[in-house]
Amino acid sequence: MSPATLRRALSETVSGLPREFWWLWTSTLVNRLGAFVATFMALYLTLERGYSASYAGLVVALHGLGGVVASLGAGVLTDRLGRRPTLLVAQASTAVSVALLGFMQHPLSIAAVAFLVGAASSASRPAVQAMMADIVRPEDRVRAFSLNYWAINLGFAVSATAAGFIAESSYLAGFLIEAVMTMACAVLIYLKLPESRPLPAPGEKPGDEPVVGLGTVLRDGRFMGVVGLSFLIALIFQQGSVALPVAMGQAGFSPADYGLAIAVNGVLIVALQIPVTRFIEHRDPRRLLVISALLAGYGFGLTAFADSVGLIALTVCVWTLAEIVNAPTQTGLVVQLSPLHGRGRYQGMYTMSWSVAALVAPLMSGFVIDRYGAEWLWGLSAVIGTVAAVGYWTLMRGLPGAEPVGGGKRADSPAEAEVGAA
């Protein structure tokens, strides 16, 4: 590709998006650049504090449980209070709780504050996704979600590398740096991002618009089907950080071998997310989701036949491509299925599917590996991917608007005929 072609492709990728999106994108990048605690939490508890691996696992699980609890509550707040207030509260709470965690000494206080950190850090996700859907045109949403996902992974790649060096000097410094950078995100949001919650329709007074309750979300069969499929996909992707290192260790590979193999995931996302998005942006989302589900399931399934670091890295390439395709397409589908005044609750339910998967995956993978062996887990991953692919194909038949996923208000949304309460 010539430099001129590359410049043109880059210009087409980033052009046409509103200024508010780029401030939101910047806040995401800054937030992920400072995300140190989740990276070294287990090492901090076992090496620095001398706690057992079981206790470290409990704390990490409580951190994830906080995310599960916060997802729905944050979705409700996003719709009721607004996107901007929810983001400000979530980011400020995360900064304070992360700093506090660095000073906790007692095991119970560490566990309790870790739960708060998980809840606070997850509370911003529904608001971010809802705000992005508000400020970006439907035809640009897949591209916008992809750019945001790219920022998340770029920030994580940098922070994960920096976390190792920071931990060698001072774990407390890592907690404080994350707190400062998270608070910087709150300041950026306060200064640069206006509220984006949709205004009442012409002729309506504030408060007259339909209120979408959580009951409405739960009764939305098609959307809850997507949430269930999202859980299955997340369950597969979680194996990259949960089961793969365990299986490689049992097979005689070193931690460095795992680090080398899993690094392929981050490198590919940073390198390919934008060009792949250009390729898929105007293609049938049903086919994309089916293909990504199969690539995810069988990418992990092929791990059963990989007996070298190079072959394992190749399997990582397969399921990373699935991740690159699935993330923006599925997020765009969630927006498309969400009624205008219920985006926060819908995004909260969608976010919860990933949080629940983060809790279930370690339990599932540990049980299967201990009882039957890693090969059975990789086979199960292929089965789950197949089920998810069939589910996407079935659920998306007859979806209003047979166009690439971009968003908009569904014609058959239950929220249009029902006024509920959270």
HEC sequence for the chain: CCHHHHHHHHHHHHCCCCHHHHHHHHHHHHHHHCCCHHHHHHHHHHHHCCCCHHHHHHHHHHHHHHHHHHHHHHHHHHHHCCHHHHHHHHHHHHHHHHHHHCCCCCHHHHHHHHHHHHHHHHCHHHHHHHHHHHHCCHHHHHHHHHHHHHHHHHHHHHHHHHHHHHHHHCHHHHHHHHHHHHHHHHHHHHHHCCCCCCCCCCCCCCCCCCCCCHHHHHHCHHHHHHHHHHHHHHHHHHCCCCHHHHHHHHCCCCHHHHHHHHHHHHHHHHHHHHHHHHHHCCCCHHHHHHHHHHHHHHHHHHHHHCCCHHHHHHHHHHHHHHHHHHHHHHHHHHHHHCCHHHHHHHHHHHHHHHHHHHHHHHHHHHHHHHHCCHHHHHHHHHHHHHHHHHHHHHHCCCCCCCCCCCCCCCCCCHHHCCCCCC
pLDDT (tens digit, 9 = 90+) per residue, 181-220?
Answer: 999 999 999 999 999 888 765 655 555 555 677 788 888 8
pLDDT of residue 202: 60
pLDDT of 73-93, one tens digit each?
Answer: 888 888 888 999 999 999 999
**Where residue 133 falls among pLDDT bands split at 50, 70, 90?**
confident
Residue 408 pLDDT: 40
Q: How far apart are CA 404 and CA 396, in angstroms?
A: 12
Q: What's the rounded mean pLDDT across residues 377-403?
A: 85
> What is the CB-side half-sphere exposure of residue 186 using CA atoms within 13 A?
19
Question: Which pLDDT does position 414 carry in this prediction?
Answer: 35
Does the pLDDT of residue 46 top 90, yes or no?
no
What percentage of the chain reaches a pLDDT higher than 70?
Answer: 87
* Token reading at 339: 């009624």
Q: What is the pLDDT of residues 310-335, one digit of tens each?
A: 999 999 999 999 999 998 888 888 88
Give the span between the Cα atoms of 146 and 131, in whole angstroms. 15
pTM for the complete prediction? 0.76
More confident residue, 174 or 56: 174
* CB-CB neighbours of 262 under 10 Å: 18
Q: Does 277 or 306 have the greater pLDDT score?
A: 306
Q: What pLDDT score does 296 carry?
A: 97
